[in-house]
Amino acid sequence: MRNSWIWVDNRQKINTARKDMQSSAIISMDTEYDSFRYFHEKLCLIQIKTERMTYLFDPLDPLDFSFLGIIFSDPEIIKIMHAGDNDIRILKRDYQFEFKNIFDTHRAASLLGCHYLSLASVIFSYLGIELNKSKQVQRSRWENRPLTDEQINYAVQDTLYLADLYIRLKGEIKQKGLEDNASGIFEKMAEVRWHEKTLDPGGYLKIKGAKKLSDHQKSCLKTLFRWRFQTAKETNTACFMILSNQNLVDLPNSDIHSIESLKKAGKLSPKKVRIFGQEIVEALNQSTQ
């Protein structure tokens, strides 16, 4: 069965996966990570498909998957991905893996002039196969265990047709004499690195409603904006989950100088007041000095 899969959770399965991959000329790969709820993207799943099987690796499991680095850096094995830039960055960040001989179907389709570049669109355009890619599943809690049947099916589909797509796209690239162009694109992709997010010093002025604030209120907004970024970084939480942009604009508009006045303002939930209230009050008071 093309969509057969194994959840790799013991040494025997690791050995099976390693032997299969090492004897493969082509593997297809993808990852699932959460960049929505976390400040640093959280890697939650690695999917690798050979001709005979899809292997699902759990980065949250303490098992040693370091052999994948040998596979990814082997120039004799073609690694097929779709829009794999972030996959490469995160795998390098978390495992120090290096990559050689990749083929990215997103970049290949773009080089060929395809305008609709989602995985589902490219597969339909070149293979005539319809994928059911649910946004709800895409943004689901991939770090929760066990994964649901829907999540497993979604993850397996991500690599299911990449080898077929590779054959079709590679043929068209060769036919149009674009092989050197494609090689250059893929080599640059293999060199990408993960970089820490940095604070945009003027980012607070780009928030909707910021320009309507007084100078003093803008100063408060700036302080809160910087505090939110630092808190998100330290707790590995998405910025919007600390305070929304609307919160950032609303709080300087309120007369807040203590926890009690913050509660009375009614701008934040009791939970956020409990967790962040004192720091928010201090940040606002700092701006008034």
**Which residue type, as a one-letter code, is found at position 149?**
D
Q: What is the pLDDT of residue 222?
A: 96
Domain boundary among 155, 190, 225: 190
Give a yes or no: residue 128 inside a domain.
yes
Number of structural domains, the chain?
2
Domain boundary among 145, 165, 190: 190
Q: Are residues 236 and 127 in the same domain?
A: no
Separation of first and last alpha carbons in the chain: 68
Give a yes or no: residue 266 inside a domain.
yes
The range of the structural domain enclosing residue 95 comes to: 5-190
Q: Are residues 217 and 163 in the same domain?
A: no
Q: Are residues 145 and 61 in the same domain?
A: yes
pLDDT band at 11 (very low <50, low <70, confident <90, very high): very high
Q: Are residues 36 and 63 in the same domain?
A: yes
CATH classification at residue 142: 3.30.420.10
Q: Are residues 214 and 183 in the same domain?
A: no
Percent of the chain with pLDDT over 90: 94
**Tens of pLDDT, residues 143-193:** 999 999 999 999 999 999 999 999 999 999 999 999 999 999 999 999 999
> Is 27's pLDDT higher than 70?
yes
Give a yes or no: residue 118 inside a domain.
yes
Q: What is the pLDDT of residue 52?
A: 95
From residue 94, how far is each of 16, 40, 54, 97, 149 by CA, in Å?
23, 11, 22, 8, 27
Q: What is the pLDDT of residue 57?
A: 98
**Tens of pLDDT, residues 106-123:** 999 999 999 999 999 999
Q: Are residues 167 and 43 in the same domain?
A: yes
Q: Are residues 11 and 32 in the same domain?
A: yes
pLDDT band at 288 (very low <50, low <70, confident <90, very high): low
Q: Are residues 107 and 158 in the same domain?
A: yes
Q: Which of 43, 30, 36 is nearest to 157 (CA)?
A: 30
Q: Are residues 176 and 34 in the same domain?
A: yes
pLDDT band at 255 (very low <50, low <70, confident <90, very high): confident
> Is 210's pLDDT higher than 70?
yes
Q: What is the pLDDT of residue 289?
A: 55
Q: Are residues 39 and 145 in the same domain?
A: yes
Q: What is the pLDDT of residue 68?
A: 98
Give a yes or no: residue 176 inside a domain.
yes
Give a yes or no: residue 90 inside a domain.
yes
Evaluate whether 118 touches 133 at the Cβ level (below 8 Å): yes
CA distance 83 to 89: 12
Helix (H, G, I), strand (E, B) or coil at 3: coil
Between 204 and 254, where is the model more confident? 204
Domain boundary among 156, 190, 224: 190
CATH classification at residue 219: 1.10.150.80
Evaluate whether 133 touches 157 at the Cβ level (below 8 Å): yes
**Tens of pLDDT, residues 256-284:** 989 999 999 999 999 999 999 999 999 99
> Is 98's pLDDT higher than 90?
yes
Q: What is the pLDDT of residue 23?
A: 98
